Amino acid sequence: MARTEKVGFMARKIFIAATGQNSGKTTTSFFLLHLARKKYRRVGYVKPLGPKPAVLNGVEVDKDAALIAQAYGLGRDLRLMSPVVLHHDSTRKVIDGEISADSLCQRIIDACAELERKYDFLIIEGSGHVGVGSVVGLSNARIARLLDAPVLLVTGGGIGSVVDAVHMNLALFEKEGVDVRAILANKLHSDKRATVLDYLCRVFADEHLQVVAGFDYQPVLANPTLRRVADLLDLPLHGNKRDVRRIINHVQIGAASTQRVAELLKDSTLLIVTSSRDELLVTMANLYQIPEYRGKLAGLVIPGIIPISRITQQILDRSNIPYLRTQSHTTADLHRIISEDVSKLTVQDTEKLSLLRTLAEGFDFAGLDALFAPHLSSDFPASR
């Protein structure tokens, strides 16, 4: 294989991997970049293998790379920040020999080499779990080896499931000879935080793995915005578009009586109401005008093949309540699709990004930075 030996440069670097999808790699990368910029003059980012294509400033990149580039003004490095972007047919083309796996490896090596020459501190974000990319010869573990980058492994906030997942992922890192220095226990429940961290520290003591305490579980980071739901369902948002960034904390089906549905509304609820429920639609539109309910009612999703009656439609429009209208989804499908979606950060999610920066201020970046120094430090506190 051509020129795919390990490479090493002077930049301090950290590879952010995870035990599974949606563990928090991008949020971890985001807040570490925020903190690193306070210490280092030049801080860069790269997502070597990107499975989520997007286009930014005419350049095809991974969506996470696009977010970081926009949030931190790194647009000049776009082509380097996302050297390999996979499409739905990329794996077949690699297996069929239409795309050279060696060429993909070399693109990653060359891009990271250039970034390491430009920056003092480089954050390298992996994709999915450790094995993702294996089909094209570019698992997270292999990329970390090629780039000679020590790994921070992001996990969930449990005990048994976390231990099992860490050991399964460590096996591939060990096979590649990668230096995994710490696990970051993320999405911890505040009432169990101390207990979980204590158990994890004891379990991994023999593995010589530091356990780093991540953030407590924050529903605001996991829950979707109205914009996200509109994009997810591929539907236009009607009504108050100023609330497009509003975060939805609950999704409810309006199946009960009108009075009961009103009583059951929780904080920032997205209510699914079929198009035939005129009385309920009119009531929700009127409640949206009342400050007490404005905080509870984020908007409506209106499924059904029956047209909304003319007068109900007028009341909806005059109320300015945000709503999505669909004839292609059932009520049950909508509830499942929205509830199962894990909201991904975008640059438009200003409230979420601001919260991340605030939470980051309580994180011991100095300890993590010392742990990932070229000469390993052992004085990082196991928990906070």
Q: Are residues 283 and 357 in the same domain?
A: no
Helix axes 25-39, 350-360, angle to 10 degrees: 60
Q: Are residues 37 and 104 in the same domain?
A: yes
156 and 200 in contact (C-beta within 8 Å)?
A: no
Non-local (6+) Cβ contacts of 375 within 8 A are: none
pLDDT at site 60: 93
pLDDT at site 238: 97
- Dihedral angle sign, alpha carbons of residues 345, 349, 350, 355: negative
Alpha helices in 147-207, H assignment, sequence order? 160-176, 193-203
Q: Are residues 119 and 258 in the same domain?
A: no
- For residue 380, tell me if it sits in a domain: no
- For residue 2, tell me if it sits in a domain: no
Boundaries of domain holding 50: 12-220+345-371
Q: Are residues 165 and 290 in the same domain?
A: no
- For residue 106, tell me if it sits in a domain: yes
pLDDT at site 10: 67
Q: Are residues 243 and 147 in the same domain?
A: no
pLDDT at site 381: 45
Specify burial of residue 219 (Cβ count, 10 A radius: 0-12, 13-18, 19+).
Answer: exposed
pLDDT at site 7: 46
Residue 206 and residue 112: Cα distance in Å, rounded? 33
pLDDT in tens for each of the 384 residues of the chain? Answer: 444 444 444 689 999 999 988 888 999 999 999 999 999 999 999 999 988 888 999 999 999 999 999 999 999 999 999 999 998 888 899 888 899 889 999 999 999 999 999 999 999 999 888 888 898 889 999 999 999 999 999 998 889 999 999 999 999 999 999 999 999 999 888 899 999 999 999 999 888 889 999 998 887 787 889 999 999 999 999 999 999 989 899 999 999 999 999 999 999 999 999 999 999 999 999 999 999 999 999 999 999 999 999 999 999 999 999 999 999 999 999 999 998 777 778 888 888 899 899 999 999 999 999 999 875 444 444 443
Q: Are residues 28 and 167 in the same domain?
A: yes
The total domain count for the chain is 2
- List the CATH number of the domain containing 292: 3.40.1390.20
